[in-house]
Structure 1
Amino acid sequence: MPLVRNPILPGFNADPSILRVGNDYYIATSTFEWYPGVQIHHSRDLANWKLVTRPLNRKSQLDMRGNPDSCGVWAPCLSHDGNKFWLVYTDVKRKDGSFKDTHNYIVTSSSIEGPWSDPIYVNSSGFDPSLFHDDDGKKWFVNMLQDHRRRPQYFAGIRLQEFDPGVGKLVGEKKTIFYGTDLALVEGPHLYKRNGWYYLLTAEGGTAYSHACTLARSRDIWGPYEVHPQKHILTSKDAPFAALQRAGHGDIVDTPDGKTYLVHLMGRPTTQERRCVLGRETSIQEALWKDDWLYVKNGPVPSLFVDVPGTRDDTEYWAEKRYTFENSLPKDLQWLRTPETERIFTIKDGKLTLFGRESIGSWFEQALVARRQTHFSYDAETVVEFAPADERQFAGLTAYYGLYNFFYLTVTADSFGGRELLIMTSEGSWPDAKLRMPLSDAVPISNEGKVRLAMTIRGRELQFFYAIEEQELAKIGPVLDASILSDECGGHQAHGSFTGAFVGVACSDINGTALPATFDYLIYRPVQHESDRYEI
């Protein structure tokens, strides 16, 4: 079989849940505060993947206004019971401090494209749940249990309870079936059944550089569960120079001809600070069964190149994307938190209009539309028409991770209404990131006409550019450190930031008057650059 180079889903695509229905494979990944919720990719050969849907796309299913950064939709589980698709997900409302508020739901659909049902609320006992369909027809809800009294770790093991779809709720006995290993932080459970054995695959070690996939088995679904002879079947924790780091949180799938594969999250750190600008991505590993135990081929360290049935075509991956706005928002683009899109953007006459809402980084309602950064180096460009009245109205081009980490080239105005260009950044790792203005003085521009805004990222170096109307692009501002758009600098300590870098357009009006900004297009142009050691 041909070799494919990992990752198979580059850029922010964390916590993969994989499923095969006939000859079709699907992977569902976390979206956190980005709307719509959950990304589902499709493949026929495990090598080439296409985004087909984001199923949580209306207010009755998901409303994340007020959710802090890296909260929202965590670790979806996608399954099929022979009749319809089931999707389990958590909407996390709080994760920092003494408590975590984690609400778990189930939606269903007869088709992967939807429409997906309104959610059934299940419980709020923990996060990263999954649904296991046993061969006797029973359905089991598997979840990590959190206990706020346990410090410094609140991970209290993996809890099992039957889910009755007829009444739409959990029924019967509930029991903690697995407490994890000494690596601790046990979460992300998936149950499987093979040759009379129940297998429990969990994530351990947190989602940073000690992450791992741990496997255990039992003859009885209630346990006790015996830990794998290797303990952790996949991890990079003891291989600091491996190309794929932070490897863990996985799921397994069988091909029609009986081969087994494991998909898992991982990161590709750059710079001496080991920063994962592309976030946690999805990779795949071939796995083998021996003595009724699953082993990752050449594991437990994940392989950069893996045998899969298909051959990947990277033409689309390296192609320039020119996003125009004809009838609807292009599928690659997302926004933040709100289901009420009419309050933050409209599409008309081939243009995208953003209505200035709260400041960039707001956890409630900000007008920001963006796509994932999926390459270590790229160019981006847009054209904006915007008539600000003062310094509290600004719109433009942004490279964005979250509240604590962004770069923003804006069209704004001074206090007398004279239009100008200003760069705003929030830089530096937790906890001292704060708003900075890297230009010594704002750049005055005409009060009339469109403005062309652009940026280049080459590894960790970000440079902004601008032009008025049809003039040539000119540099503006210093070279900035793009590597801070990473989990490691996302406003939290280790294990606390979970998304990835985006690039897009934004508009803020903190006067509260919803001043609109109109964008003609957004260009994302991948660049192969000598600094990109681990590029696909």
Structure 2
Amino acid sequence: MIRNPILPGFNPDPSIVRVGDDYYIATSTFEWFPGVQIHHSTDLANWTLVARPLARADLLDMRGDPDSCGVWAPCLTYANGLFHLVYTDVKRYGRTTTGGASGASLRDFHNYLVTAPSIDGPWSDRVYLNSSGFDPSLFTDDDGRQYVANMLWDHRPGRNRFAGIVLQEYDAAARALVGERHLIFKGTELGLTEAPHIYRRDGWYYLLTAEGGTGWNHAVTMARSRTLTGPYELHPDRYILTARNRPDAPLQRAGHADLVEAPDGTPWLAYLCGRPLPNRGRCVMGRETAIQPMRWGDDGWLYTLAGDAMPVLEVEHDAAPPEPRQERTRFDTPELPIDFQWLRTPEPDRIFSLTARSGHLRLYGRETIGSVFEQALVARRQQAFCYTAQARIEVVPAHFQQMAGLVCYYNSTKFHYLYVSHDDAIGRHLAVMSALPDSPQADAFTVPIAIPDGAIELGVEVDFERLRFRYRCEGDADWTWLPQLFDASILSDEASAPGMANFTGAFVGVAAQDMAGTAMPADIAWFDYREREYSA
């Protein structure tokens, strides 16, 4: 069986391509560096994270990008012996740095293209395409000519800001868009038209888009035309996949899709989805990637196998069972293990090292947790409703402006942080700082707990919306639980002030801060992440 989602945890906006017997899916990474996750599979059921291509400063520098900006909606295609990766770097979401509503219609999107002969690279220097909107995709026609489609952003008052899909030819020799820009599709009354992908089949050009926003009204729309620039006629059902108005659907928020054809001719649709918490209705794992087979009808239109446009939880398919996930990560290689990322900066040597102390991840305390420029936070995705994570940390904070610890993190306004610090009153101590998006008290601190010097193990257990921290000092046989029960559901898109960008998902990892600017080190010996069944 294929069990959806195939890419659990924060893996939104899938773009899928087949090259021979190999399938690749590229997904958005937003403010997390390196940019764009690429998974590989040969059976559509088992997927392995193999690359993050935007790993150089000349390809991506997100310092200063607001939360949930950065890399949006990559498009991965293959033509002329090259992988082509198109992506957006979002620099402004229409909010001031303090979260006010000033200039809410003003946004900055910059679209780029890079190529590589192999999924492992080397990736070319980036080509600037345009800044007219986001979600760019590259289409190569049967005659070899290439075109870039993207949604068009209209900031003017009284206008539809999602103004439709525009198309322009790309000249690879000139490394630039050329000719006239065509508005080929204005969308349906559902609105928020984005995420275009174009395909050619049996003399038709098919246009796939996402509509309804990326929340509960999300949907996949299809249209077609005999000519590339239109006019495009809508699918008779309008939406070929959606869970909107269907609370019984096992996967919600279904939309933003891409199409691939298997060697036997079966069309498969990769799309994003969300799994709400049973008790709170919030999607702590963000938008995940699912896949299911489709069928071409006698009328030349695409349909789900059941004809109901519903996302499915399981698909019968010949595939091997998945490999068990690694539980303990030891930092004994010169490269950060691929499950982990950091935030925004293309200069990782300033925030961590894997060689400064053998067998350890050394964090260098930098700016405050939540900084949009340079913070030392290294984390991995939450990929199950119930998990245990823990880490062994050695840190010697000298004063209250230095701290390091274990963090459950969504963005700068949503996290729970168990940290070690020091002050004159209590000495070395442990406390939790929470950033609460739906509480009158934005920052909450627990009462500090005095702890002795030496290495310390910090742990967290998450069961759906319940989160508890624990610790074990050097020499202790047993763990000590903190008495507080924390709300894990705040680590979700849905827990937010209205109008703010919330497009990622929950992470768990380690962090260090030195607000005195002296780069206090904190050494991590290992990090555990173990998924499990619910524990009462």
Task: Provide the TM-score with structure 1 as the length reference.
Answer: 0.95
**Secondary structure of residue in 2 paired with 1:428:** coil
Any residues of structure 2 matched to 1:27-426 within 5 Å, and which?
A: 27-96=25-94, 97-151=104-158, 153-290=160-297, 291-298=299-306, 299-308=308-317, 310-317=318-325, 319-348=326-355, 349-415=358-424, 418-426=427-435
Q: 1:49 to 1:124 in 2, by over 3 A?
A: same
Partner AA of 1:85 in structure 2: F
1:457-468 aligned at under 5 Å gives the runs: 457-468=462-473
Alpha-carbon RMSD across the aligned residues, in angstroms, is 1.5
Contact 1:285 1:306 in 2 (8 A): yes
The amino acid of 1:424's aligned partner reads: M
- Answer yes or no: is the 8 Å Cα contact 2:331–2:354 preserved in 1: no
2:479 is the alignment partner of 1:481: no
Deviation at 1:385, TM superposition (A): 1.0
In 1, Cα distance between equivalents of 2:419 and 2:315: 44
**2:114–2:125: 8 Å Cα contact kept in structure 1?**
yes
Letter in 2 for 1:434: A
The separation in 2 between residues aligned to 1:176 and 1:94, in whole angstroms, is 24
The answer (yes or no) to whether the contact 2:168–2:181 under 8 Å persists in 1 is: yes
Aligned counterparts of 1:463 and 1:434: Cα–Cα separation in 2: 19
Asked if 2 retains the 8 angstrom alpha-carbon contact of 1:66 and 1:363, the reply is yes
SS in 2 for 1:334: strand
CA contact (8 A) 1:423 1:477 kept: no
Residue deviations 1:449-480 (CA, integer Å, cap 9, x gap): 11111111111111101111131210124011
- Select which of 511, 514, 519 maps to 1:509: 514
Mapped to 1, the partners of 2:222 and 2:330 lie a distance apart of: 43
Residue 5 (structure 1) shift: 1.3
CA distance in 2, matches of 1:217, 1:61: 34
Distance in 2, Cα, partners of 1:495 & 1:269: 20
Aligned counterparts of 1:133 and 1:420: Cα–Cα separation in 2: 59
Are the equivalent residues in 2 in contact too, given 1:86–1:109 (CA < 8 A)? yes
Quote the Cα distance in structure 2 between the aligned partners of 1:73 and 1:51: 17
Work out the CA distance in 2 between the residues paired with 1:215 and 1:112: 29
Provide the C-alpha distance between the structure 2 equivalents of 1:277 and 1:283, rounded to a whole number of angstroms. Answer: 16
| Post-superposition offset of 1:301 | 1.4
Q: Could you tell me whether the CA contact under 8 Å between 1:233 and 1:300 is conserved in 2?
A: yes
Q: Whole-Å Cα distance in 1 between the matches of residues 348 and 500 of structure 2? A: 31
CA distance, structure 2, for counterparts of residue 102 and residue 331 of structure 1: 28
On the 8 A contact 1:466/1:475 being kept in 2, the answer is yes
Q: Which whole-Å CA distance do the structure 2 matches of 1:325 and 1:204 have between them?
A: 45
- Paired with 1:237 and 1:144, the residues of 2 have a C-alpha distance of 22
Instruction: State whether residues 272 and 289 of structure 2, in contact with CA within 8 Å, keep that contact through their aligned partners in structure 1.
Output: yes
Q: Look up the SS of the partner of 2:9 in the other structure.
A: coil
Which residue matches 1:534?
none
Alpha carbons of 1:130 and 1:352: their partners in 2 closer, same or farther (altered >3 Å)? Answer: same
For structure 2, the 5+ residue unaligned runs are 95-103
After superposition, what is the alpha-carbon deviation per residue over 1:344-389, rounded to whole angstroms, capped at 9, x for unaligned?
Answer: 0001200011000011111110000000000111111111111111
Is residue 16–residue 76 contact of structure 2 (8 Å, CA) maintained in 1?
yes
Aligned identity (percent) is 53
Shift of 1:415: 3.6
Q: Give the secondary-structure state (helix, strand or coil) at the position aligned to 2:494.
A: helix
Look up the match of 2:100: none
Give the match for residue 21 of structure 1.
19
Query: Structure 1 residues 271, 511: CA separation in 2 closer, same or farther (over 3 Å shift)?
Result: farther
Deviations 1:435-459 (A, max 9, x none): 111x2x211112x211111111111
What TM-score does the superposition give when structure 2 sets the normalisation length? 0.95
The one-letter code of the counterpart of 1:358 is E
CA shift at 1:511, angstroms?
A: 1.1
SS in 2 for 1:329: coil
User: Could you say what secondary structure the match of 2:88 adopts?
Assistant: strand
Measure how far apart 1:395 and its partner are. Answer: 0.3
The amino acid that maps onto 2:324 is E
Cα–Cα, structure 1 residues 223 and 530, in superposed 2: closer, same or farther, change >3 Å?
A: farther
- In structure 2, the residue corresponding to 1:478 is in which secondary structure? coil
Q: 2 CA distance for matches of 1:376 and 1:152? A: 41
Runs (5+) with no aligned partner, structure 1: 532-536
Return the alpha-carbon distance in structure 1 between the equivalents of residues 330 and 223 of structure 2: 46
For the 8 Å contact 2:11–2:28, the answer to whether it is kept is yes
CA distance in structure 2 between the aligned counterparts of 1:139 and 1:370, rounded to whole angstroms: 38
Measured in 1, the distance between the counterparts of 2:91 and 2:400 equals: 32
Following superposition, the deviation at residue 323 of structure 1 comes to: 3.8
Aligned length: 522
Whole-angstrom CA distance in 1 between matches of 2:270 and 2:497: 27
